[in-house]
Amino acid sequence: MSEFEPILLANVNAENSHTRSVYESTGGYAALRQVLGQMSKTDLIELVKASGLRGRGGAGFPTGLKWTFLPKDHPGPIYFCLNADESEPGTFNNRILMEEDPHQVIEGLILSCFATNTTTAYFYMRYEYPLAWERVQAAVDECYAAGYLGKNILGSGYDLDIFLHRGAAAYICGEETGLIESLEGKRAWPRIKPPFPAVEGVFHKPTVVNNVETVACVRHIAERGAEWFRSMGVPPDPENPRDPGSFGPKLYCLSGHVEKPGCYEAPLGITVNELIERFGGGVWKGRKAKAAIPGGISMGLLTADEFDCPLDFAGPGRYKCLGLGTAAVVVMDETVSMVDFLLNSSQFFAHESCGQCTPCREGTSWALKMMQRIKAGRGRLIDLDLLLEIGDNIGIIPGTTICGLADGAAWPLKNGIRKFRDEFEDYIRRTNPEGYAETDPVPALEVIGAH
Ligand SMILES: Cc1cc2nc3c(=O)[nH]c(=O)nc-3n(C[C@H](O)[C@H](O)[C@H](O)COP(=O)(O)O)c2cc1C
Ligand code: SF4
């Protein structure tokens, strides 16, 4: 990776970086003035499309294209939901942006709302982020006082209100239609799609849902242009006509068994090895790595031999993972038991499944019960195939569930067992020497241990 000047994290270490005066002293709100004075909404959408910006919330959907799905000349309100739920394990880049540079996020949000013709935005924030809440609310208040929010922003005739909404403290609140339900005051049960939010979202009105980091990128694209944004990252893969490329800077959350965990910024496409060695100071305690999750736990698992995987939108897929996800890399050293890893991830997904879809509700809880049984020394080799059967059959990709939580539950199972099968088999044989080869159905899947 050549020299790179941080963009999204440029100001986070400045004293009082969360205040409007510090933000403005480094050029903050110049992009807003420029756009409101000179650009049409359509031009801004075209600019974001041309930049190749893809959503940073997990799915990597092209942002400008998503905005064009809104109905044209809609007579009623269009709503904007800023997804700040940040519930994917290992992910904390939105928190850093909101706590340390909230005005960057708000400027990006105002620009995104202007482009999409939105006059009301909801800032849906993870329940467990009290400091981010305080700082974003203070920043919003400062914006009203400065004329950046409210009626007739900077004399442009454009009106926008931003309301903060506290999340309901569940993983599923981050799924865009779960978020919308929760915002409407209901339990966060994802909706069947279509209709997609762009057609029918909050209060049955057209709605845009974007991630915090996505709108922060919009602020910089508006200021420096599409070509500048495309000068960073990875061009489309010529072998894959469906890959639009991965452009721009990315915040990578690095945690687990590294010397220097943290949130680091690099152009899209840095490899796992580079991230660990260059930013993370290497695997901790002089140990070797065994595995890493590439982008939040729902993306699956890479073995240490696969750490040359580039962390762009297409990279992890080439290593049989689900995708880049949130680009949150959690490193596991050689002492970590993959049985413990899979037990832990199964616990998480069984707990967080909202329960609407039978394959997800039952599949995640069967997986948990089997993992508890394996861990307790009552596993059978055939259980590994049963776990894979669950993994291969739950989720949107096999077409059996409403939302992607089930896919997220499936990938650690599929990658964990396929990539580390020897370790699972060895554990089962060692801990259950009498019964490991049995194939008869287990009478009842007992719950072992607390859940
Ligand atoms: C179970 C689940 C949890 C999710 N959690 C989040 C989240 O916490 N934050 C987020 O931005 N997107 C999350 N997403 C993705 C959102 O549904 C949506 O794609 C995203 O907010 C769109 O924003 P973007 O286009 O800017 O990435 C989640 C998806 C699923 C299936
Ligand atoms: S896949 Fe799981 S979390 Fe998503 S709607 Fe269905 S039951 Fe709920």
Full DSSP string of 285-321 = GGPPEEEEESSSGGG--EEGGGTT-B-SSSHHHHTTS
Assess if residue 436 is contained within a domain.
Answer: no
User: Distance (Å, rounded) from C-alpha 35 to C-alpha 148?
Assistant: 13
**pLDDT over 80 at 449, yes or no:** no
Nearest CA to ligand 1 atom 19: 59
59 closest CA partner among 249, 306, 296? 296
How many whole angstroms from 428 Cα to the centroid of ligand 1? 36
Assess if residue 179 is contained within a domain.
Answer: yes
For residues 72 and 130, membership in a common domain is answered with yes
CA 396 to ligand 2: nearest atom: 1
pLDDT value of residue 197: 97
For residues 122 and 43, membership in a common domain is answered with yes
For residues 283 and 394, membership in a common domain is answered with no
**pLDDT over 70 at 451, yes or no:** no
**pLDDT over 90 at 440, yes or no:** no
**pLDDT over 60 at 345, yes or no:** yes
Tally Cβ neighbours within 10 Å of residue 166.
15
Among 123-127, 356-360, 441-445, which is the least confidently predicted range?
A: 441-445
Q: How many domains does the chain have?
A: 3
| Phi, psi dihedral angles at 31 (to 5 degrees) | -65, -40
Give the number of the ligand closest to the Cα of residue 324: 1
pLDDT value of residue 214: 98
pTM: 0.96
For residues 46 and 175, membership in a common domain is answered with yes
**What CATH number corresponds to the domain at position 104?**
3.40.50.11540
| Cβ of 178 less than 6 Å from ligand 1 | no
Residues lining ligand 2, Cβ inside 6 A: 172, 190, 353-357, 360-361, 401-403, 405-406
- Given 299, 333, 367, the domain boundary residue is 333
Nearest CA to ligand 1 atom 28: 175
CA dist 167 → 162, 187, 298, 347 (Å): 15, 11, 20, 22
User: Distance (Å, rounded) from C-alpha 192 to C-alpha 177?
Assistant: 9
For residues 273 and 352, membership in a common domain is answered with no
Are 306 and 321 contacting, i.e. CB atoms less than 8 angstroms apart?
Answer: no
The residues that bridge with 62 in the sheet, in sequence order, are 54
For residues 104 and 195, membership in a common domain is answered with yes
| Cβ of 143 less than 6 Å from ligand 1 | no
User: Distance (Å, rounded) from C-alpha 303 to C-alpha 181?
Assistant: 38
- Given 202, 231, 260, the domain boundary residue is 231
Assess if residue 444 is contained within a domain.
Answer: no
Assess if residue 437 is contained within a domain.
Answer: no
| Cβ of 401 less than 6 Å from ligand 1 | no
User: Distance (Å, rounded) from C-alpha 322 to C-alpha 294?
Assistant: 9
Q: Binning pLDDT at 50, 70 and 90, where does residue 444 land?
A: low
For residues 381 and 306, membership in a common domain is answered with no
Strand extents, DSSP E, 143-216: 161-166, 207-211
For residues 108 and 123, membership in a common domain is answered with yes
Assess if residue 448 is contained within a domain.
Answer: no
User: Distance (Å, rounded) from C-alpha 258 to C-alpha 283?
Assistant: 4
User: Distance (Å, rounded) from C-alpha 188 to C-alpha 173?
Assistant: 6
Give the number of the ligand closest to the Cα of residue 64: 1
Tally Cβ neighbours within 10 Å of residue 369.
19
Domain containing 120 equals 20-231
For residues 91 and 210, membership in a common domain is answered with yes
State the average pLDDT for the chain. Answer: 96
Tell which wins on pLDDT, 107 or 451.
Answer: 107
User: Distance (Å, rounded) from C-alpha 1 to C-alpha 129?
Assistant: 33
- Given 199, 231, 263, the domain boundary residue is 231
User: Distance (Å, rounded) from C-alpha 371 to C-alpha 386?
Assistant: 11
Give the number of the ligand closest to the Cα of residue 404: 1
**What CATH number corresponds to the domain at position 420?**
1.20.1440.230
| Cβ of 58 less than 6 Å from ligand 1 | yes
Assess if residue 400 is contained within a domain.
Answer: yes
User: Distance (Å, rounded) from C-alpha 96 to C-alpha 135?
Assistant: 11
Q: Binning pLDDT at 50, 70 and 90, where does residue 210 land?
A: very high
**pLDDT over 60 at 235, yes or no:** yes
**pLDDT over 90 at 432, yes or no:** yes
CA 364 to chain CA mean position, Å: 21
User: Distance (Å, rounded) from C-alpha 275 to C-alpha 411?
Assistant: 22
For residues 199 and 109, membership in a common domain is answered with yes
How many whole angstroms from 86 Cα to the centroid of ligand 1? 8
Which one of 394, 401, 407 would you pick to mutate in the ligand 2 pocket, going by the greatest count of ligand atoms within 8 A of its CB? 401
User: Distance (Å, rounded) from C-alpha 85 to C-alpha 129?
Assistant: 9
439 class by beta-carbon count within 10 Å (0-12 exposed, 13-18 middle, 19+ buried): exposed
Q: Binning pLDDT at 50, 70 and 90, where does residue 448 land?
A: low
CA dist 391 → 161, 296, 399 (Å): 43, 17, 13
**pLDDT over 90 at 443, yes or no:** no
Compute the C-alpha angle 112/118/119, nearest 5°.
120
For residues 54 and 201, membership in a common domain is answered with yes
Are 304 and 288 contacting, i.e. CB atoms less than 8 angstroms apart?
Answer: yes
**pLDDT tens per residue across span 114-140:** 999 999 999 999 999 999 999 999 999
**pLDDT over 70 at 445, yes or no:** no
How many whole angstroms from 319 Cα to the centroid of ligand 2? 26
How many whole angstroms from 357 Cα to the centroid of ligand 2? 5
* 195 prior amide bond cis, ω within 30: yes
Mean pLDDT value across residues 19-47: 96
Of all residues in the chain, what percent carry a pLDDT higher than 70?
Answer: 98
How many whole angstroms from 42 Cα to the centroid of ligand 2? 36
pLDDT value of residue 2: 62
Which one of 68, 128, 176, 397 would you pick to mutate in the ligand 1 pocket, going by the greatest count of ligand atoms within 8 A of its CB? 176
**pLDDT tens per residue across span 381-418:** 999 999 999 999 999 999 999 999 999 999 999 999 99
- Helices marked H in 156-198: 176-183
CA 175 to ligand 2: nearest atom: 4
For residues 224 and 263, membership in a common domain is answered with no
Nearest CA to ligand 1 atom 2: 175
Of all residues in the chain, what percent carry a pLDDT higher than 90?
Answer: 94
